[in-house]
Every structure is written in C-alpha cells, then in structure tokens.
Amino acid sequence: MAGGPQRLASGGATIDRGAPVRFTFDGRRLDGFAGDTLASALVANGIALVGRSFKYHRPRGLLGAGAEEPNGLVRLGAGSAVEPNTKATLVELHDGLVSSSQNRWPSLAFDVQAVNALLSPFFAAGFYYKTFMWPKSFWEKFYEPAIRRSAGLGRASGLPDPGRYDKVNAFCDVLVIGGGPAGLMAALAAGRAGARVILAEQDFVLGGRLLSERHEIDGMPSSAWSAQAAAELDGMPNVTVLRRAAVFGSYDSGTFGVVVSAAPGETGPRQTLWRIVTRSAVLATGAIERPLVFGGNDKPGIMLASAVRSYVNRFAALPGQQITLFTATDEGWNTAVDIAAAGGRVVAILDTRREVSPQLRALAPAAARIFLGADIKAGRGRLRLTAIDVVDRDGRAERIATDCLAMAGGWTPMGGMAIHLGGRLAWSERIGAPVPKSTPAMRIAGAAGGQLSLAESLASGAEAGLAAAEAAGHAAAAMAIPRSSDDVVTPFQRRPYAKTRRPAFVDFQNDVTAKDIALAVREGFAIPEHLKRYTTLGMGTDQGRTASLNAIEILADVTGHPSTELMPTSARPPETPIAIAALAGASRGEHFRPKRLPASHDWSAAHGGSFTEAGPWMRPRWYTRTGEADWLTTVNREVTTVRTSVGVCDVSTLGKLDLSGPDVAVFLDRVYTNLMSTVPVGKVRYGLMLREDGFVLDDGTAARLGETHFVISTTTANALRVTQHVEYCRQVLWPELDVSLVPVTDQWAQYAIAGPRSRDLLQALLGDRIDIGNAAFPYLAVKAFDWDGVEARLFRVSFSGELAYEIAVPASVGAAAFERLMDACVRLGGCAYGTEALGVMRIEKGHVAGSEINGQTTAADLGLGKMLSAKKDFVGKMLAQRPALAAADRPALVGLRPVDRAGRFSGGAHFLAPGATPSIEADEGWLTSVAFSPSLGHFIGLGFLRNGARRLGEQIRAYDPVRGRDTLVEVVPAAFVDPEGARLHV
C-alpha cells in the first residue's frame, strides 16, 4: 500500500495521497504522504516501538498524536542540524526526513540498559537521596558520572546550530491561540467584526479536533468546514494566520511569545520569534485526553483513544489489527465507531463504569465484546502489546489478544497559559478537572475552558471572539453559530486507582508509577509540588500533560484529601518547549551585539589596524607595519614615535555631552567634585564625578565654549551611565535649574594629536585659520573655528603627557578629517597609534582609567582627594565622608617597578610583604595596570597599596599565584615620565 502497509485505502483529512514522501527511521527507508506527521507515518508503516523510557529504558510506543506525546521522542536530522528529543507527533513529514530513536544502546529493540527495569524495586522514587553516600569520594568519581551517562534522552550535536533565526514584533486587537473549532470561530467572529486578529496554531493545518473526528458542520464533514473557515480567514486583510506557531508564553501588558517555524523546504529563517502585543487574547487550546492507570499500561500499542481517532480519521493510518478500547467516558465509544467505520477491527470495549446507557451500547461495532465495570490487570507483550488481562464487574477474568488498546480516561483542559500571569484555576466537577476562568485580558473558549462538546466549543469561540473584538472597539452583530453534530459529554466519574504489583505508569516519560506516588506520600511528599519535585512527575518534555490529573487523583486516593483541594502545580512558560536559538534570534556570533565603528575605521583597517572591543565600539589596538615581529614591537614603536615626534589617535568613543542654559555652571558645580563655574570661556578643566554613595563615578573634561555652554567628556565605558546620571541630576534633583543636555558622542569625531611635533602638524594643516601658538592657545585652551567650511573645535588637552591637542569635527566628515590628519602626520614622520600605546602612555603618566576607577575606589584612593572642593557641596560629598571611605589606611594609588628591572609582573597580582605567608590579613593591595614602558625600558605598574602614600621606596612582592609569578617590586610615585608635567606647557 502506498504511504505504508497500515494505510487505509481511503480517507485521511490532511494527507495528500498525490504527494508521496520518503523518509527514514533508524535507517529504515519508509513511505508516507505529504500531510503526515512523522508519528502518523510510523503508524501507517506498522511501527509500534518508537522509543525507550527515561529511567527504566522500557520499550515504548506512541501514546498520543500531539503536544502531549511523552514517548515518541526522536532525533531528527544529522550532523550539526541534529534536533534531539523531538516529538514525532509534531514533526511535519517531508521528503528526505532522517529520524532515529534515542536513549537506547545498541538498538531500540535490544537495549542493554533495560536491565534497569529489573532493578526497579531499588530505583523507587527518591532512591538516590538515600544512598551513594559511602565512601564519600565515590559520589563524584563513580556514582554521579554513571548516573549522568545513563540519564538524558537524546544527544546534542555538539556543533554550532547552522540554522538562521529572526524576530518579529506584531500588534493586534485579538490574539486567538489555537485553531480548532473554538479558535476558528473566535477568529472568524473578531475578524468579521473588523478587529486586527492574529490566529496562532501550532499544527501545520487549522482545524484541531475537526480534522481528527467525523463530525458534521453546516452539512459538510467537519474537516471540510474547517478548511473553508481557514480559507476565509486567510483571505481577510485584517487577519494574520500563523501556522506552525507555538504560543509559549503570556507576559505582562498583553505581550505573548510565539515561535513560528518554517514549513519544510521553505527558505528563510528556520524559526522566528514573534513578540505579539494584543489588547486581549482568546485561549482556545483544547483539551488532552487522560490515560488510564493500570499495570503494564505502557506497552507499545497502548494509546489515547483520541490519538487513535486522529491516526484513523486524519491520517488514514490504522494503529492495530485487533483493537481494544478501554474507556471511562461516553466519548471513548466514538473511537470504536470510527475504527469500525474505517474498516478496522474492534475486538472489545472495556468500560470502567458498571452501567452505560443502551444508546451507547448500540454504538458498539457488532463484533466487539463489551465488558462493564472493567479493569485491566495487565498489559502484556514485550516490544509490542499482545494481550490484556481483563476482569469485569462480575469478577470474570479473561485474556484478550490485542495489539492496540485505546484509552479514554476523561480530559485535561489545556488552560495553562491562563495562569502564566498568576490567574487561578477552579475545579470543574463536571469534567473532573481544574479549568481557567475568563478575564477581559484572556477569554477562554472551547475545551480549554471545559466546554468539551463540539457545539459548546463553536458557540463559546464565537462569543469570546465577539467580546474581544468589541472590547477593542469593533462592535458587531451576534454571529450565527453553524449547526453541527454534537458529542454527548458525560460527567467525569472518579475511578479508584488499581493496586497492582505491575508497574502502572502515571508519567510515562519519567517512569513514575502509581506506587511511586504512594511511596512519596508515605515519606511526606504529599502535596503536588513536593510530589513533583520528589518523583520528577510532570517534569518531562511532555510537561506532564497526560500525567498531572491522574497524579492528583491517585494522590487524593492515597491521602484521602478530595482531589478538588489538590491543584496541579502551577503552569509557567514555555507552554510548549522552544529552542534556545529561537529566543536568541540573530544575536549570536559576530552579531551578538551591534558593532560601533568610529569614523576612522576604514583608514585604520587599510593601515594595519588590529581591532579590539571597547564597550560597544571596535577600536584599533595598534597599527602593525611590515617587518614588525610582534605586537610589543609595534606598540613600543608607536609610544616612542609619540614621545619623540607625533602621533594621532581616534578618541571619538569617549562620551560627549553638550550642556547649555543660564544655570549650566551652577549645575556642573553640583555634578562635579571640583568647581566648574570658575572655568573661563575658552578653557578646559579636568573634572571628577562621584556617585551618590561617594565612590568615584567617572572622570573627564569640561570645556567651556561660551558663558552658558559646556561640552563635557566621559570615559568610553561609562558614557551611558554618566548620561543617565547627569539626566537624573537635571530632571529629578534640580528641575528648577535651566539647563539642556544633548548627548553628542556620535555627532562628533574627535582625534588626539600628541607629541612634541603636534603643533607642527596642526600648523601645517590649519595654517593661519587659528592661532595655536603657546601664548594664544595655551595648555587647556579650547576654541571653535572654521576648518575649510567645517565647524571644528580644538582642545589643548593631553592624556599622553606630551604637548597634545584634540580636534573635533562633525562625525559626517570625520573620515576625511582623519585622512588629512594622517597625511600631515606621516609627512612629519609620525604615526597613528592605538589603544595599547594610549594605555602604555597613561600608565607612564600615572593617569587612572577603568582598572582604577572600578566603582570601588574613592577620590583619595586615586590620589585625587584634592579635587573634592571644600567650597561647595556636590553629589556624593556627604557619603564620601562615611568612616570607611575616609579611613586613612585604605589602599592608595602608587607606582610600581620591578626591583630587578628585567623582571615582569601583571595586573591582578596582590601585594605581600617579603617573607609573608599568604593570608587575607597579609594581603596589602593589588596591581591594577601594568605595561612595558619603552621610555624606561622595563615594566611599570599602577596599584593600590595599603597606606600607599607613606610607603614610597619600600620593596614588596607582586604575588601572582594564578600565573605562577612572585616578583619583588619597588613602590614609587605614580608618575614615571615627566612627573612635573613640563611637557604639557611647551
């Protein structure tokens, strides 16, 4: 038979018999149809054994046909595209699909670890808390590695995910979650009313149960009606239908997370994260059938009755030759009717109830034997169900040969998303399950809200859709509910759980049995939350969909508490498991975070620039020239060039804030520790800011361009934080001060020109456009000028300690300006220098940077205590006087050099007295910044040393055990080159 040997000759609501598909499972080549799931194709190929359970490695077959599937987990694909633990029931079959079973060795049919099942009495719930403690060292060496190896389900590829992922933001009036009868009606109602609707359905076809059951709506088969409804929705401009869309979470303010997967063969991202913001939602996620708990209820071939109906009706795949039905509800009988109608053989119907109505009995296929008040003592068979041992109300015991058992144990509404935001469930006696309540933010429709019958589903869907549309301002007349056949839904009847010696599974994936629950109760884990944690019940990839209510019933039975007082554990996102990569989208690899490039980037890249990350920026570390053996040679050359000639460095990444207004000087006096109101127009002052807690926030310069106009700079790392802080001061602390603030970091490109020949360079470049003689433009001068039509600013500031300037131009002309600067620079024998040379020179000068201003240091620690003005109050002044911040023996900034000048040390080493035994008490401080100084010919460093200021000349150890170093160093002032600063003023 095309499409597999168990394929029915006709029928199948969603399969396309004209589109045969070939796939493999565990290396076997198999046939299916487009429109199959992997699970339905396996059923059609007569394959019952699909996996092994987690703990006991018991042989398992498909239990369900959808997201509830606990057993049918497969590994999809090969190589880096491997996707482990995939529910076969949710995989859309396509040509060339490669799948394999998991958690077995050497093969699915013969799995060595199935020996675990023999030890199952020992492996009862919580066994591991009671043993493996002796001898102590054996846990990590022996027991745990063994447990880790045998745990886990599938195997990850270990290779980078080759898929592409993306994100979408969407907004709507009504989000309908689920495209079954209730969801379709809700979307139609809201869509026809004119609301912006998004309908999200996890399946690749809309319809839900309408595809799997043989109902009639408006005179046509329910699957045809759903196709018609889908077509209408697809045609509405105000409606977006998302298929293959897993709504996984309900978040605050109407935000929902949805992962939409590409169809097989579709180009574009593998999955897209939709962040949907909606005015309200309709939850129409249906209900999942409950298994029945009996000994050996996990044999391959034992399925949910609804799954059997789905395989038969939707996929025309017959899951067995001799099918039996075990039901606790009237709805279960419909499965027998459907099987018979499809030409399958129902050998027996077992109903747990002692009496059923004559109408129900009349439904039974003629050949089926009927057992009432029935229970199953055992499911039999090894790799597949072969028989069941039945007893009925009269104590009649019988073994019935069967290869497929359909279980109908009532329903579990899938209302989890209704309580993601903290909503509560209410127990419905009618269906024996907790159901969510509708709220204006989320209306519950259909079986998710306990409206189990088709007619109820259609009506409640329409009502919810209309109400949601109306709430969004789209009123519409009531909608006609299509006439449909209906189900007889009988009230749920509780059934005492069978006390059997055979394992009776409640959680199939995690191998939690009824006995495990009884044991947990005996040990005091008698509430659902403790039970879950102790037994792992409900913690598998099926998220306890088929286990939770049976567990509650058994718990109630064992403890004597009514089940209505035992709510299942709370539901949290994700409603359905979602790939980590889907949440990350395109933000990985190089695109993990945006890259910001200064205007000089292209020039640097073309001239040997080697780049490093500086916050969000990429900056050149150095510019390698041909023939330079290593980076140190390059950096030494750059430093020496600056110190003897001239160099240019892009410093645009430093933060720049433009402040203006009548009160700007007063404002800055409060923000900085030192006085800024006394800075004359045309001058720059170095400034220090404290946090409110008195520790140093940042340092930089304040340039006064006019009486009421300053431009201040921040470090690259703190640009955003300082902006936020200064805005806080301006808007929250002193809104009465008339000051405006514009961050202009990105608007201005700024270049440092440093070295004894920097003035020559500028002279050559600027000529007489601006007088830069030492008298007219002394140290710390600033001036705006016109540079050939470009608005430019020149600052005489220096980080290197040399005669130096910074020139700023609008970023739009920054690249051109940098080229002009470099042309002139090279002609003078100068060079561009990178962040490494910049760092070396600042250490040579003893200037503090990020390693020193690390958020834990005070102004005094940094040697900047004198910058705290006594003449005024400022942010942080009071709290900087707290005893521990003002203590005299705090570690303070010093310079360090190796006693043996050939020696070396590194940042992060700690200071110990010579001969001291390492201990917390003996620890006297640490090295913050270290560089090789080409100017001095040896390593130099900055560090914080206890009582540092009073210890110049002492010898201590730079103790660096993590690098295996211990270097004797000498404490010196924190300024190695031109300590008087004479070079600044020439």
Residues 547-576 that bind other proteins (CB under 8 A): 572-574
Site pattern 505..544 for other proteins (x: CB under 8 A): ----------x---x--xxxx-x-xx--xx-x--x-x-x-
- Determine the interface stretch with other proteins among 305-313, 328-336, 384-392, 877-885 (rule: CB under 8 A): 877-885
Which CB, 251 or 427, lies closer to other proteins? Answer: 251
Report whether 70 contacts 77 (CB < 8 A): no
Report whether 45 contacts 5 (CB < 8 A): yes
- Determine the interface stretch with other proteins among 42-50, 286-294, 382-390, 582-590 (rule: CB under 8 A): 582-590
Q: Is 965 exposed, middle or buried (0-12, 13-18, 19+ CB in 10 A)?
A: middle
Which CB, 481 or 584, lies closer to other proteins? Answer: 584
In angstroms, the CA 65 to CA 87 distance is 9
Cβ 579 to other proteins, closest distance in Å?
5
- Determine the interface stretch with other proteins among 33-41, 659-667, 724-732, 766-774 (rule: CB under 8 A): 724-732
Which CB, 29 or 148, lies closer to other proteins? Answer: 148
Residues 6 or more apart whose CB falls under 8 angstroms from that of 369 comprise 347, 348, 349, 400
Distances (CA, A) of 45 to 15, 25, 185, 813, 882: 15, 11, 35, 69, 78
CA dihedral 817, 818, 820, 825 (to 10 degrees): 140
Q: Which of residues 146-185 bind other proteins (CB under 8 A)?
A: 147-149, 151-161, 163, 165, 167
138-141, long-range: CB < 8 A, 24+ apart: none
Identity at 552, one-letter amino acid code: I
Report whether 783 contacts 793 (CB < 8 A): yes
Cβ 613 to other proteins, closest distance in Å?
6
In angstroms, the CA 433 to CA 712 distance is 65
Which CB, 19 or 675, lies closer to other proteins? Answer: 675
Q: Which of residues 131-150 bind other proteins (CB under 8 A)?
A: 131-134, 136, 139-140, 144, 147-149
Structure tokens at 677: 């109101």
Cβ 12 to other proteins, closest distance in Å?
29
Q: Which of residues 603-662 bind other proteins (CB under 8 A)?
A: 612-613
Identity at 800, one-letter amino acid code: S
Binding status of residue 198 toward other proteins by CB under 8 A:
no
Q: What is the per-residue burial (b if ≥16 Cβ within 10 Å, else e) of 811-829?
A: bebbbebbeebbebbeeee
Which CB, 17 or 890, lies closer to other proteins? Answer: 890
Q: Which of residues 704-723 bind other proteins (CB under 8 A)?
A: 720, 723
Which CB, 329 or 536, lies closer to other proteins? Answer: 536
User: Is 549 in a helix, a strand, or coil?
Assistant: helix
Site pattern 733..762 for other proteins (x: CB under 8 A): x-x-------x-------------------
Cβ 115 to other proteins, closest distance in Å?
15
- Determine the interface stretch with other proteins among 42-50, 426-434, 795-803, 882-890 (rule: CB under 8 A): 882-890
Structure tokens at 766: 């600027």
Residue 497: CB atoms within 10 Å = 21
Structure tokens at 657: 């804030």
Structure tokens at 702: 């304040």
Cβ 555 to other proteins, closest distance in Å?
14
Identify the residue whose tokens are 């007489």.
768
Cβ 80 to other proteins, closest distance in Å?
8
Q: Which of residues 785-804 bind other proteins (CB under 8 A)?
A: none
Binding status of residue 886 toward other proteins by CB under 8 A:
yes
Binding status of residue 885 toward other proteins by CB under 8 A:
yes
| Binding residue for other proteins, selected from 677, 678, 724, 740, defined by CB under 8 A | 724
Site pattern 662..681 for other proteins (x: CB under 8 A): --------x-----------
Q: How many residues bind other proteins (CB under 8 A)?
A: 144
In angstroms, the CA 838 to CA 642 distance is 10
Binding status of residue 694 toward other proteins by CB under 8 A:
yes
Q: Which of residues 63-82 bind other proteins (CB under 8 A)?
A: 81-82
Cβ 567 to other proteins, closest distance in Å?
12
Site pattern 820..859 for other proteins (x: CB under 8 A): ------------------------------xx--xxx---
| Binding residue for other proteins, selected from 106, 268, 589, 627, defined by CB under 8 A | 589
Residue 158: CB atoms within 10 Å = 7
Cβ 155 to other proteins, closest distance in Å?
4
Cβ 872 to other proteins, closest distance in Å?
9
Structure tokens at 56: 């006991």
Q: Residue 896: left if φ>0, alpha if ψ -120 to 50, beta else—which one?
A: beta
Which CB, 17 or 275, lies closer to other proteins? Answer: 275
User: Is 221 in a helix, a strand, or coil?
Assistant: strand
Q: Is 89 exposed, middle or buried (0-12, 13-18, 19+ CB in 10 A)?
A: buried
Q: What is the per-residue burial (b if ≥16 Cβ within 10 Å, else e) of 358-375?
A: eebeebbbeebebbbbbb
- Determine the interface stretch with other proteins among 63-71, 304-312, 404-412, 918-926 (rule: CB under 8 A): 918-926
Which CB, 241 or 689, lies closer to other proteins? Answer: 689
- Of 233, 229, 371, 382, nearest to 299 by C-alpha is 382
662-667, long-range: CB < 8 A, 24+ apart: 662/708, 662/738, 663/737, 663/738, 663/739, 664/708, 664/709, 664/710, 664/739, 665/708, 665/710, 666/737, 667/729, 667/730, 667/734, 667/737, 667/739
Site pattern 396..425 for other proteins (x: CB under 8 A): ------------------------xxx---
Which CB, 730 or 897, lies closer to other proteins? Answer: 730
Site pattern 923..962 for other proteins (x: CB under 8 A): x--xxxxx----------------------------xxxx
Would you list the DSSP string of 446-463?
Answer: GGGGT--SHHHHHHHHHH
Report whether 575 contacts 416 (CB < 8 A): yes
Q: Are strands 197-200 and 165-177 parallel, antiparallel or unpaired?
A: parallel
Binding status of residue 913 toward other proteins by CB under 8 A:
no
Structure tokens at 851: 């390693």
In angstroms, the CA 60 to CA 39 distance is 13
Which CB, 78 or 475, lies closer to other proteins? Answer: 78
| Binding residue for other proteins, selected from 130, 606, 626, 982, defined by CB under 8 A | 130
Report whether 301 contacts 48 (CB < 8 A): yes
Q: Which of residues 310-339 bind other proteins (CB under 8 A)?
A: none
In angstroms, the CA 743 to CA 471 distance is 42
- Determine the interface stretch with other proteins among 190-198, 373-381, 590-598, 787-795 (rule: CB under 8 A): 590-598
Binding status of residue 889 toward other proteins by CB under 8 A:
no
| Binding residue for other proteins, selected from 392, 398, 692, 954, defined by CB under 8 A | 692
Cβ 107 to other proteins, closest distance in Å?
17
Cβ 802 to other proteins, closest distance in Å?
24
Q: Which of residues 262-291 bind other proteins (CB under 8 A)?
A: 273, 275, 277
Cβ 527 to other proteins, closest distance in Å?
6
Asked if omega into 106 is within 30° of 0 (cis), the reply is: yes
Binding status of residue 439 toward other proteins by CB under 8 A:
no
| Binding residue for other proteins, selected from 477, 480, 629, 920, defined by CB under 8 A | 920
Binding status of residue 691 toward other proteins by CB under 8 A:
yes
